[in-house]
Every structure is written in structure tokens, then in C-alpha cells.
Amino acid sequence: MVLTIDQATYDAIVAHAKRDHPDEACGIVAGPQGSDRAERLVEMVNAAGSPTFYEFDSMDLLQLYKQMDANDEEPVVIYHSHTATGAYPSRTDIGLAQEPQAHYVLVSTREHGNNDGPVEFRSYRIVDGEVTEEEVAVVAQLSSN
């Protein structure tokens, strides 16, 4: 298993995580259903506004899913940041993961916070409480299909 993501989307997720540090940042990358193509980044507001928790606002969530439904899309990537710990799913992340087909991306900003510098960027599948890390392949652009 591998998450293939284009450089611009990767950079935008990292920038979002750095911007929102020390709170957790969150969002998704939508793509056509069944395509596994992470095409459309949607930054979400962390309604919890917390350094240790994230939650999409319930009305934003409804609008997001309606829009994806209308576009025949699904969440290909669900990302959030950890601001004081590593880029590994927490117990809470595992317990609340409810999109078995999604790549769960974790970005850790603990090293450099809001500043320039490398981050940990890792991807996982979380299915029925089972976490499987996968390779992240950053490409210049997604191949055309």
C-alpha cells in the first residue's frame, strides 16, 4: 500500500499544520470514488481548537459530504497534525477512525512549530482498530488518467 500525493498538496498540508500550530490542523483530500486519487484539498476548521484534539465542525462536515456526494467523490486522505507528539495515530485517532478506505495522514510539527524546517509526514490505514503504516510517494503531479 502506498499513498501517492502531489508535491503541491503535500506542501499545502504541511503549511496548514505549521500555520495552526500549536493547535491541531485538520482536513481532507477528496478524489473520485474508488480512484484512490488525492485531487482536491479541503482545509477544515478544527472546531475543538485544541493542541490535543481535532474535530470537524458538524455543519462544515455536512456541507463537505454533500459536496463530495454531488461530485461522486470520497475522502481519499484525512489528515491532521500532532503538535507535541510524533506522527503516529493516537489511541483516540484509532478509536474514532471511521473511514476504512481513507489514507490517514499524520503530520507532526513538534520539532519546528510555526517555523520552517522539516516535519514528520506519515500515512496509515486504520481499519477496525488495526493501524498499518504505508509508504508516502510524493510526485510532481498525479499521473493523468
Partner 1 sequence: MAIEVRIPTILRTYTGGEKAVSGDGASLSALIDDLETNHPGLKERLLDNGDLRRFVNVYVNDEDVRFIGGLDAELSDGDEVVVLPAVAGG
**Do 124 and 100 contact (CB within 8 A), yes or no?**
no
Give the interface with partner 1 as residue ranges (CB under 8 A). Answer: 26, 28, 44, 48, 52-56, 58-59, 61-62, 65, 74-75, 78, 80, 89-93, 96-101
Considering the complex, state which of residue 5 and residue 44 has its C-beta at the smaller distance from partner 1: 44
Total count of residues recorded for the chain: 145
Minimal distance, residue 84 CB to partner 1, in Å: 11
Minimal distance, residue 95 CB to partner 1, in Å: 8
Minimal distance, residue 135 CB to partner 1, in Å: 22
User: Is residue 31 helix, strand or coil?
Assistant: strand
Q: Which amino acid is at 23?
A: D
Considering the complex, state which of residue 7 and residue 92 has its C-beta at the smaller distance from partner 1: 92
Minimal distance, residue 33 CB to partner 1, in Å: 10
Considering the complex, state which of residue 71 and residue 90 has its C-beta at the smaller distance from partner 1: 90
Burial (CB count within 10 angstroms: exposed 0-12, middle 13-18, buried 19+), residue 33: middle
User: Is residue 94 helix, strand or coil?
Assistant: helix
Considering the complex, state which of residue 15 and residue 96 has its C-beta at the smaller distance from partner 1: 96
Separation in Å, CA 131 to CA 26, 88, 89, 142: 19, 9, 8, 26
